[in-house]
Amino acid sequence: MKLPDLVRHWRDPSLRAINGALAFASLCFLFGAPASVRVINRVSGVPNLAAPLTYASITAYSAALLLLIACWRGGPGLRRTARRWITGYAAVLAGIAVLFVLGDAGEERRSDFDTYYATAPWISAMVVLYLVAHLTAVSVSAVWSLRWAFEAEVCERPWLRASLLTIGAGTVVSSGYSLSKLAAVLARWAGRDWVTLGTSLPPVCAGLGAVLTVVGVLLPMAGHHLAAWRDFFRLAPLDAVLDPVLTDRALRVERPRSPFLWGTWRWSTIHNGLLAIETLYDETLYDEAHDAELERTGDWRRASSTAWAATIAAAVERSTQPLLEAAGAPARLSHPRDGESLVLIADAVKRSGQQARATDPGRAEARSV
């Protein structure tokens, strides 16, 4: 789903990190599944080749997750931090390949490779290398995401905060994968056999941790689309008020087929209509409506949105009178351009319509677009 965005915006480091995290998380399970292990080993003719491939994908996933959190955080040191992590984990990947080649893992092990070869020269070093690299990455990711989630600026962005908390929980659970395997390896070094610890608990931690982490990665995107759909419906009353201007001046473009673009389409359409009538705003009307609503409710934001709803409706009405439009003076009022303010104005338009219907039950329903 994210590949088309990556193709269109391949220079975006955040998109590259998102695609990398999702892709390598998938490869971890693809290469690590016992059925896949059997196929990879048989097709390649190399016993246990699936092991370094799985370890490499786990290492690359860990690095991609670190880079993703760093990209979201941003800051002047982003490039330097990214280069350091990329260099460090590239070295780990190279180390995994070299140690596997130097070692001797001639007997195929589909589920207990780590503990079976925990005392084998070179192979044991490869196992410890990837486990320490994974534990380091998930620990740093957990600290970064959980610490950032409780900062004041993030608390005001609920979707990002939920994402960071979910990623933090996922990485904490994922740490159980490397911790349990390291414990089983250390037990082998001590002459004990904790194979069950190294084969039963790690898949549970890896699976649950990966699900939580991937959900956390996707939450901001889901929140963006949900907010866009919410705004699409909430902006409908303002769109309806501007419809005469949009229709008469051919400013309404065709709605895109993709529902993911409907919010942006409505937002840009409303901006076209507002720009067309900005010379017709009545400053006196705005001030009167603003003062009256402020005195009635004491809410400054509600007063502003109500005043703009009345001013825009009056400007649309004036736009149908060519003589008045031609005599219009340069705009002295500047309408809000941010999405939140436009949504509040649309809510005010809806309230005014409901009040009008309450006072005049025979009035026709406003047309919703």
In which element (H, E) is residue 358 found?
A: helix 339-359
Question: Using an 8 Å Cβ cutoff, are 286 and 310 in contact?
Answer: yes
pLDDT of residue 136: 94
Nearest to 167 by CA among 140, 194, 193: 140
Please give the C-alpha separations between residue 139 and each of 135, 172, 174, 294, in angstroms, as whole numbers.
Answer: 6, 7, 9, 51
Determine the 3-state secondary structure of 325 from DSSP: helix
Please give the C-alpha separations between residue 16 and each of 53, 78, 148, 249, in angstroms, as whole numbers.
Answer: 21, 14, 21, 42
pLDDT of residue 368: 41
d(CA 36, CA 110): 9
Read off the amino acid at residue 144. W
Per-residue pLDDT of the chain (369 residues; tens, 9 = 90+): 778 878 888 888 888 888 888 889 888 888 888 889 899 999 999 989 999 999 999 999 988 988 988 888 877 788 888 889 999 999 999 999 999 999 998 888 888 899 999 999 999 999 999 999 999 999 999 999 999 888 877 777 888 899 999 999 999 999 999 999 999 999 999 988 888 888 889 889 988 998 899 899 889 888 888 888 888 999 999 999 999 999 888 888 888 888 878 888 999 999 999 999 988 898 899 999 999 999 998 889 899 999 999 999 999 998 877 655 444 455 567 888 887 888 999 999 988 876 655 555 554 444 444
Question: Using an 8 Å Cβ cutoff, are 22 and 51 in contact?
Answer: no
Q: Phi and psi (nearest 5°) for 204?
A: -65, -45
Query: Interior CA angle at 59 toward 58 and 61, to 5°?
Result: 65
Interacting residues of 207 by C-beta distance below 8 A, sequence separation 6+: 29
Question: Using an 8 Å Cβ cutoff, are 236 and 366 in contact?
Answer: no
Model confidence, pTM: 0.73
CA-CA-CA-CA dihedral for 190, 52, 126, 185, to nearest 10? -10
What would the two tokens of residue 254 be?
């065709």
Question: Using an 8 Å Cβ cutoff, are 308 and 349 in contact?
Answer: no
d(CA 306, CA 300): 10
Report the sign of the C-alpha dihedral through residues 107, 111, 113, 116, in that order. Answer: negative
- Region for residue 286 given its phi and psi (left: phi exceeds 0; alpha: psi -120 to 50; beta: otherwise): alpha
Interacting residues of 364 by C-beta distance below 8 A, sequence separation 6+: none
- Region for residue 75 given its phi and psi (left: phi exceeds 0; alpha: psi -120 to 50; beta: otherwise): left
Q: Write down the residue that tokens 């996707």 correspond to.
A: 218
pLDDT of residue 332: 65
d(CA 22, CA 38): 24
